[in-house]
C-alpha cells in the first residue's frame, strides 16, 4: 500500500464507532522528576540524537549480566489508564513532573488497512513512542490527539511508551495559576483504530445556521481514493442522499428536512445517522436543533429558553480524581438533573467526549470551554497558537453534539488591548469553524458603589453577556445585603451568569452570617437569585459549582483542606441546603418558560 498520504488527517471523528483496539488497562510506570529517561547528563534529548536511542522509550532489557540498564518497566508498578496518577498513588497526589508509561500489546495487522493511535487526553505534554520510535509530541491536557501508525505497527507484540509531563508553565494553556487540581497522566481512553486505505476522517451533520429546514454539513475523506460517492442515511427521518467528494476528498451536504423531531432537553431525540464511502462507513447518534439569539432572548428551536444550569469540573469527588468511567460522568449529570437543570457549563476545559454524548442523551444543553483562564501570555504567538489549537480540537471533536449550544473562548481574562486582540481572534476562529452555535466567554464585573458594571470591550464580539460575580463571597459583604446591587450592563444581549457562589463545609451549621456554614451558602443563593432576578435580560445561569472539587489554592485547615467548597454537593455526595434553594428556583422557571 502506497503511503503517500500527503495531507495531515483531521482528528478522526467518532473514533469509538470505528473498529478499535482499546489500550486501556494497567500500564507500567516510572516516575522521573529529573527527566532522566529523556535527557542525557548534558541535558541533550536522547530522541534528538542521530541514533535516537538511549531513553526509557527503548524499553531496554540487559542483553547479558554485564550490561548496565538503570530502569525496567516489567518490574515497575502499574497505573490504571484512563486515570490520573494523583488519585491512584498517594505519594503522587501533588506530583508535578514527568511520569513514563509503558504498555505492551498484541496487534493483528491486515494488508490494505491503516492504523491510527488515538489518545483522548494526556495532561499536559505527551511524547509518544511506538516500538522505540518517536511518533510525536502533543501539548494540551484536555484535547484528543492521534498519530498514524500504519507501517509502524507490527503484527504480534508491540510496545507503546508515553512520557507525560504535567509541569505548569506561564506561556502554556492553561497558564501557571488555576483553581483546579493539576491531575497528571493518561486521563482518558487510548485506542488503535483500524480503517480502510481511504476512510471517512471527519463529518458534520447538523441543521444549518438558524434554519430548521435544512441539514448542512460536510464529509472529509482521507486516503488515496479521494473522489468518491458518499451516502448519508438517516432512515428514521426518511433521509438518504449521495454526494460526490471533490479532489481533496471533501463533500458539502445541504439537504432539505421535511419531518424531524427537534432535539431539546424535554425531547432529547437522537437519530441514527450513517455515513458510507467506498469500503468505509460510520454510524452515529445525532440530534437536530437550532440555537440563536434574538434581542435578549435565547431561542432553542425558535422558542425562548432559560438556561437552568450548573458549572461542573471533570472530577469525581468520590474518587478525588479525574472521571474515569461513564458511570462517573452519568453520576454528575444525574445530580444536575436532580437539581432540575436543563443546561451545564463544562468548566474550564474540554471534557470527555462521553460527557457530551451523555448530555445529548439526557437532554442537557452545554457550554463548552477552552482553558484560556485568568492571565495568559497574550503577546506570545506560540501561546496564541496553542489556544487556537485547543479551540479547534474542542469544536471539531464535538461538532455533531446537539447538546452543545455555546463555545466559550475563556474565563476571567483581564481587560487589555493584547488580550482583546487575542480573544477577538479566538472568537473569529470559533465562528469560522462553526457558525451554528453561540460564541461567548466568562467576563468579569467591576463596581462603583451599589452598581456592578459589565462593559468589557470583549462583550462586543460575543453573542451573550456572560460573567462571573461573587457578591456575598469575595465582595459585597454578607449575603443579606447584596440585593442592593444593580447591574449596569452595556450590551443588549441575553445575560447568562457563568458563576456565582460561596463555600460551605457540608454538615457545618451556624447562622446565615457565619462563613463556611450551610446556612451562609443558603442565604447567599436566596439573595443572589433575588439580586439577579432584577436583570430583565437574565436568560441563564451556571452557579459555581455542582460539587466540591480539589484545588491546591484552598488551604484552610478546617473548612477547605485542599477542597474548593463552593459545591452544592459535598465530596461525599451529600446535598447541601443551598442545593434545594436552586432547585426550587429552577422548578419555578421551568413553569415560567413552559
- Beta bridge mates, 305: 298
Q: DSSP strand E in 412-476: where?
A: 438-444, 446-448, 451-454, 465-468
- Shortest Å distance, C-beta 549 to ligand GCU: 8
Say how many C-beta atoms besides its own lie within 10 A of residue 264's C-beta. 18
Helix (H) or strand (E) holding 291: strand 291-294
Strand spans (E) along 473-541: 486-489, 495-499, 538-541
Nearer to ligand GCU, 32 or 499 (CB): 499
Query: With respect to ligand GCU, which residue has the nearer C-beta, 269 or 576?
Result: 576
CB 346, min distance to ligand GCU, A? 13
Q: Which is nearer to ligand GCU, 306 or 470 (CB)?
A: 470
Residue 180 phi, psi (nearest 5): -140, 165
| Residue 34: all three cell numbers together | 529529573
Nearest residue relative to ligand GCU (C-beta): 179
Q: State how far the Cα of 49 lies from the Cα of 289, in Å rounded to an integer.
A: 53
Distance CA 250, CA 230 (A): 10
CB-CB contact of 246 with 7 (8 Å): no
Report the C-alpha gap between 25 and 589 in whole angstroms.
44
- Give 15 or 387: the residue with its C-beta nearer to ligand GCU: 387
Q: In whole angstroms, what is the distance from residue 354 CA to residue 333 CA?
A: 12
- Between 499 and 518, whose beta carbon lies closer to ligand GCU? 499
Per the CB < 8 A criterion, the answer to whether 119 and 22 are in contact is no
Task: List strand residue ranges (DSSP E) for 142-270, in order.
Answer: 145-148, 156-165, 190-196, 199-208, 211-222, 229-234, 239-244, 250-256
Least CB distance to ligand GCU at residue 497 (A): 11
> Which residues are at the interface with ligand GCU (CB under 6 A)?
179, 348, 411-412, 468, 499, 544, 564, 566
Cα–Cα dist 282/203, whole Å: 10
Closest approach of Cβ 441 to ligand GCU, in Å?
A: 11
> Toward ligand GCU, which CB reaches closer, 138 or 313?
313
Minimum gap (Å) between residue 447 Cβ and ligand GCU: 16
Shortest distance in whole angstroms from residue 413 CB to ligand GCU: 10
Nearer to ligand GCU (CB atom), residue 188 or residue 348: 348
Cβ-based nearer residue to ligand GCU, 186 or 387: 387
Judge contact between 141 and 121, C-beta under 8 A. yes
Cβ 503 to ligand GCU shortest distance, Å? 8
For cell 488527517, the residue is 9
Residue number with CB closer to ligand GCU (160 or 344):
344
Q: Are 95 and 85 in contact (CB under 8 A)?
A: yes
Phi, psi of 111 (to 5 degrees): -65, 145
CA gap 423, 444 in Å, rounded = 14
Closest CB to ligand GCU among 483 and 564?
Answer: 564
> Of 177 and 416, which CB lies nearer to ligand GCU in the complex structure?
177
| Of residues 352 and 413, the one with the C-beta less far from ligand GCU | 413
Give the nearest distance from C-beta 544 to ligand GCU in angstroms: 5
d(CA 132, CA 57): 5
Residue 178 beta carbon to ligand GCU: minimum distance, rounded to whole angstroms: 7
Beta strands in 23-155 (DSSP E): 25-31, 78-81, 98-107, 113-119, 125-130, 133-139, 145-148
What minimum distance in Å lies between the beta carbon of 200 and ligand GCU?
38
Rounded to 5°, angle at Cα 557 from 475 and 83: 95
Phi-psi region of 507 (alpha: psi -120 to 50; beta: other; left: phi over 0): left
321-353 burial, b for 16+ CB within 10 Å, e for fewer? bbbbeeebbbbbbebbbebbbbbbbbbbbbbbb
**129 or 579, CB closer to ligand GCU?**
579
Smaller CB separation from ligand GCU, 71 or 562: 562
Least separation in angstroms between CB 499 and ligand GCU:
5
Q: Which SS3 state, helix, strand or coil, does residue 463 take?
A: coil
Task: Name the residue with cell 474550564.
Answer: 348
Amino acid at each position: 500500500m502506497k503511503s503517500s498520504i500527503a495531507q495531515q488527517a483531521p482528528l478522526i471523528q467518532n473514533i469509538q464507532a470505528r473498529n478499535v483496539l482499546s489500550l486501556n488497562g494497567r500500564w507500567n510506570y516510572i516516575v522521573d522528576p529529573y527527566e532522566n529517561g529523556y535527557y542525557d547528563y548534558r541535558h541533550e534529548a536522547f530522541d534528538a540524537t542521530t541514533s535516537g536511542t538511549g531513553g526509557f522509550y527503548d524499553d531496554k532489557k540487559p542483553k547479558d549480566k554485564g550490561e548496565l540498564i538503570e530502569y525496567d518497566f516489567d518490574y515497575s508498578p502499574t497505573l490504571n489508564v484512563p486515570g490520573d496518577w494523583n488519585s491512584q498513588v498517594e505519594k503522587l497526589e501533588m506530583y508535578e513532573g514527568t511520569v513514563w508509561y509503558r504498555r505492551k500489546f498484541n496487534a493483528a495487522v491486515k494488508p490494505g488497512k491503516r492504523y491510527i493511535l488515538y489518545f483522548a487526553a494526556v495532561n499536559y505534554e505527551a511524547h509518544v513512542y511506538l516500538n522505540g520510535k518517536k511518533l510525536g509530541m502533543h501539548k494540551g491536557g484536555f484535547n484528543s490527539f492521534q498519530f498514524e501508525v500504519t507501517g509502524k505497527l507490527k503484527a504480534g507484540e508491540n510496545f507503546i511508551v508515553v512520557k507525560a509531563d504535567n509541569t505548569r508553565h506561564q506561556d502554556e494553556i492553561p497558564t501557571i495559576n488555576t483553581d483546579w487540581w493539576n491531575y497528571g497522566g493518561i486521563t482518558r481512553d487510548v485506542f488503535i483504530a483500524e480503517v480502510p486505505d481511504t476512510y471517512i476522517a471527519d463529518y458534520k451533520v447538523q441543521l444549518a445556521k438558524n434554519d430548521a429546514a435544512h441539514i448542512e454539513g460536510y464529509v472529509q475523506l482521507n486516503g488515496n481514493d479521494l473522489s468518491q460517492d458518499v451516502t448519508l442515511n438517516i432512515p428514521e427521518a426518511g433521509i438518504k442522499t449521495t454526494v460526490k467528494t471533490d479532489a481533496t476528498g471533501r463533500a458539502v451536504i445541504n439537504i432539505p428536512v421535511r419531518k424531524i423531531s427537534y432535539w431539546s432537553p424535554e425531547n432529547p431525540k437522537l437519530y441514527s445517522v450513517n455515513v458510507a464511502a467506498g469500503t468505509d462507513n460510520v454510524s452515529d447518534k445525532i440530534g437536530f436543533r437550532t440555537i440563536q439569539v434574538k434581542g435578549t432572548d435565547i431561542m432553542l428551536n425558535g422558542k425562548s429558553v432559560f438556561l437552568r444550569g450548573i458549572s461542573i469540573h471533570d472530577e469525581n469527588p468520590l474518587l478525588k480524581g479525574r472521571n474515569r468511567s461513564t458511570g462517573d460522568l452519568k453520576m454528575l449529570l444525574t445530580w444536575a438533573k436532580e437539581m432540575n437543570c436543563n443546561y451545564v457549563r463544562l468548566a474550564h476545559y474540554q471534557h470527555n467526549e462521553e460527557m457530551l454524548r451523555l448530555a445529548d442523551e439526557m437532554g442537557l444543553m452545554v457550554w463548552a470551554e477552552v482553558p484560556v483562564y485568568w492571565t495568559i501570555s497574550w503577546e506570545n504567538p506560540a501561546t496564541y497558537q496553542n489556544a487556537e489549537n485547543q479551540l479547534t480540537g474542542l469544536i471539531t471533536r464535538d461538532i455533531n453534539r446537539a447538546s452543545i449550544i455555546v463555545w466559550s473562548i475563556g474565563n476571567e481574562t483581564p481587560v487589555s488591548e493584547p488580550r482583546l486582540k487575542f480573544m477577538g481572534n479566538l472568537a473569529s476562529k470559533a465562528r469560522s469553524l462553526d457558525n451554528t452555535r453561540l460564541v461567548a466567554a466568562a467576563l468579569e464585573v467591576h463596581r462603583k458603589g451599589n452598581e456592578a458594571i459589565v462593559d468589557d470591550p470583549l462583550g462586543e464580539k460575543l453573542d451573550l453577556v456572560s460573567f462571573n460575580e461573587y457578591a456575598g463571597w469575595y465582595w459585597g459583604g454578607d449575603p443579606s445585603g447584596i440585593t442592593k446591587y444593580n447591574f449596569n450592563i452595556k450590551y443588549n444581549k441575553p445575560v447568562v451568569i457563568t458563576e456565582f457562589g460561596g463555600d460551605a463545609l457540608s454538615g457545618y451549621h451556624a447562622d446565615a452570617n457565619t462563613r463556611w456554614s450551610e446556612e451562609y451558602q443558603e442565604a447567599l443563593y436566596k439573595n443572589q437569585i433575588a439580586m439577579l432576578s432584577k436583570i430583565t435580560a437574565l436568560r441563564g445561569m451556571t452557579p459555581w459549582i455542582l460539587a466540591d472539587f480539589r484545588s491546591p489554592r484552598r488551604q484552610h485547615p478546617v473548612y477547605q483542606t485542599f477542597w474548593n467548597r463552593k459545591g452544592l454537593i459535598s465530596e461525599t455526595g451529600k446535598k447541601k441546603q443551598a442545593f434545594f434553594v436552586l432547585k426550587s428556583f429552577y422548578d419555578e422557571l421551568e413553569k415560567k418558560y413552559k
